[in-house]
Amino acid sequence: MPFLRKSFLDIKNLNVDSIHHLFEIARKVRTMTPLSMHHKSVAFVFAEPSTRTSSSFEMACHKLGLKVLKLDATFSSLQKGETLLDTLLNLEAMEPDAMIVRHGSSESLEDISKTVRVPIINAGEGTKSHPTQALLDAYTIMEERGKIQGEKILIVGDISHSRVARSNFELFKKLGAEIGVCGPKELLSNLDVKQFDSIEEGLSWASVCMVLRMQRERHSEDLTFLNDAYVRNFRIDIGRLSKFSKEGILMHPGPVNRDFEITSEAMEDSRCRILTQVKNGVLVRGALLSQILGVSI
């Protein structure tokens, strides 16, 4: 029971067996009848915007019969200068069974979890990590491609500002995938992975293409000068997808800047799995919650 009553903060402490076990449970969540309401409760603290992560955790709670306490961070005392640690300590005093937290503050969930005893689930932490997104992405690749070991995963775009990319690199490597990246040099970190200068070359190599959002809210300098060149050189469109394997899958963690990093037409391609990722988010997050809270399925 590697997850029971423990915080889930990053990928680094996961072992491969526990990941595959979690995916087995996610498959059970897909077909389960929703459980009737019981006494366990989960507090949500989202101090940054979210559509998919917050809603999929909430849908997962409904499936597991868990009560949800949602703190609207924009109207919370975080706005009056209360720290994230104090916010979570106050919620802990109300005795939830777990807390799901997204934030971009300088406080670290790892440090906070040394003081807060209720399990904390990282729902996206600054530019550092988004481990449940990585899990649902890996689960999607497993389900759609039949395996992840040996898959050639091309990650395209704003890698240096992406917490999703950081968690995905860690998880995909752990699961034996090959990783390649492609994007403007201003948006690539110094990475120990294959780099493609041309998107066509990258797409010809890949079995999975993961497109990232241009994360303008995280750019410390003005990078708008890149926009035209980005669209010209890296945007995923139908023409470029002709270089991509017919059996490949096209992914994006969302939210999408539609027609910037990927065209609407490409999003309608039969290889596109963006909404499948969202659907799988409920299953994987449900599996994780069930393991942390000891809810049997």
Burial 189-224 (b: 16+ CB within 10 A, else e): eeeebeebeebeebbebbbbbbbbbbbeeebeeebe
In the bound complex, what is the minimum distance in angstroms from residue 124's beta carbon to ligand CP?
6
| 76 lines the binding site for ligand CP (CB under 6 A) | no
Helix 16-31 to helix 131-145 angle, to the nearest 10 degrees?
70
Q: Which is nearer to ligand CP, 54 or 290 (CB)?
A: 54
176 belongs to the binding site for ligand CP (CB under 6 A): no
70 touching ligand CP, by CB under 6 A: no
Asked if 53 is part of the footprint of ligand CP (rule: CB under 6 A), the reply reads yes
Torsion angles phi and psi, residue 160, rounded to 5:
-65, -25
The answer to whether the CB of 242 falls within 8 A of the CB of 204 is: no
Choice between 113 and 129, CB closer to ligand CP:
129
For helices 131-145 and 163-174, the axis angle rounded to 10 degrees is: 50
Q: Tell me the torsion sign for CA atoms 162, 177, 140, 138.
A: negative
Q: Does residue 131 touch ligand CP according to CB under 6 A?
A: no
- Binding of residue 254 to ligand CP (CB under 6 A): yes
H or E element at residue 62: helix 52-64
Site string for ligand CP, 133-172 (x = CB under 6 A): x---------------------------------------
Q: Is 286 in the site for ligand CP (CB under 6 A)?
A: no
- Is residue 124 involved in binding ligand CP (CB under 6 A)? yes
Hey, what are 295's tokens?
Answer: 């809810």
Stretch of 225-233, 234-242, 247-255, 257-265 contacting ligand CP, by CB under 6 A: 247-255
The answer to whether 88 and 99 are in contact (CB under 8 A) is yes
Enumerate the β-bridge partners of residue 208: 153, 249
Q: Is 184 in the site for ligand CP (CB under 6 A)?
A: no
Rank residues 205 and 212 by Cβ distance to ligand CP and give the closer one: 212
255 binds ligand CP (CB under 6 A): yes
65 part of the interface to ligand CP, by CB under 6 A: no
Under the rule (CB under 6 A), what is the footprint of ligand CP? 50-53, 124, 130, 133, 253-255
